[in-house]
Amino acid sequence: MLRLCSFLILICGLSSCQTSNPIFSKVIDPALNDSLAFKFMTAVEPVLKTGDKITMSIWNHNDLSIGSVNSVYTSNASTGKWLQLDDEGKVNLPKIGRTKISGLTVKESNYFLEQAYAGILKDPIINIRVLNHFVTVLGEVNHPGRYSLDNETISLVEILGEAKGLTSYSKNESIELIRIVDGQSVKWNLDLTDLAAIPSKNILLQPDDIVHVGATKAKINDKNLGKASLITSIVTGLALIFSIFVQ
């Protein structure tokens, strides 16, 4: 009976030590391709594209604004007070009708629309806001989730701050940043343990970027130890019950 219980404990303990495959393990490493690496590290202001949801604020003209950010009409994607670029990259704007703004940055869109409205308004001040530009933060951070860029430039270190910092199990020497470059997913591994090197590695993030903070072996070992302890307790309890009934 004792041998049987020992064998069961050993088998359960070994099975609890299995580890899953690391996330994003098959993404391309841009270090193998200088061209991809250069594009990855180059900060590029996002452009508007088909499907983007926007609000438009015209200063002192709330009647022409859609989801104004200058007044009580402030809105987000959940309110329905927004416009979506159609398959031609156009939006239907008050007074000027369907207007193409795809391919322009937010700053360029503001200037372009100010020129378009200048014929009917005096010195218009326009502010376009994109509602569906997000960065996703996963793994060993205290508050993983999806974070809106809100037309702002944000760096890797800043987004980790938005996620309430790293956990005690974070693998700080290998933080993964996944980005679409030339139509393919590219992964860049960043070492944030070297404070002197952080400025050169503090990449500005782009819409749809994914930041993944891996876990150290300590977390895996702690999880496996917890599983092994639980299974051992269960098996020991069953053995005790069995020994009572067979007496």
DSSP three-state, residue 83: strand
Give a yes or no: residue 235 inside a domain.
yes
Contact 134, 147 (CB under 8 A): yes
Domain's final residue, options 76, 109, 130:
130
What secondary structure does DSSP assign to 234-245, as a single string?
Answer: HHHHHHHHHHHH
Which of the two residues, 16 and 110, has the higher pLDDT score? Answer: 110
Residue 164 confidence class, pLDDT cut points 50, 70, 90 = very high
Kindly state whether residue 1 falls inside one of the protein's structural domains. Answer: no
CB-based contact 177:201 (threshold 8 Å): no
What is the reported pTM? 0.69
Q: Is the pLDDT of residue 161 over 80?
A: yes
SS3 at position 76: coil
Tens-place pLDDT, residues 210-244: 999 988 876 565 565 556 556 666 656 655 565 66
78 vs 167, more confident: 167
Length of the chain: 247
Residue-wise DSSP of 136-190? EEEESBSS-EEEE-TT---BHHHHHHHTT-B-TTEEEEEEEEEEEETTEEEEEEE
Domain end position, chosen among 130, 157, 189? 130
Q: Please indicate, yes or no, whether residues 38 and 70 belong to a single structural domain of this protein.
A: no
Lowest mean pLDDT among 8-12, 176-180, 215-219, 238-242: 8-12
197 located within any domain = yes
Last residue of a domain, one of 96, 130, 164: 130
Structure tokens at 108: 């360029």
Query: Does residue 198 sit in the same domain as residue 78?
Result: no
In a domain, 70, yes or no: yes
Task: Give the pLDDT confidence score for residue 150 in this predicted structure.
Answer: 72
Confidence of residue 4 (pLDDT cuts 50, 70, 90): very low
| Domain boundaries, position 86 | 53-130
When divided into structural domains, the chain yields a total of 2
- The answer to whether residue 3 is domain-embedded is no
Residues 113 and 199 in one domain: no
77 and 187 in a single domain? The answer is no
Same domain, 151 and 225: yes
Give me the mean pLDDT over the 168-196 stretch.
84
Residues 142 and 227 in one domain: yes
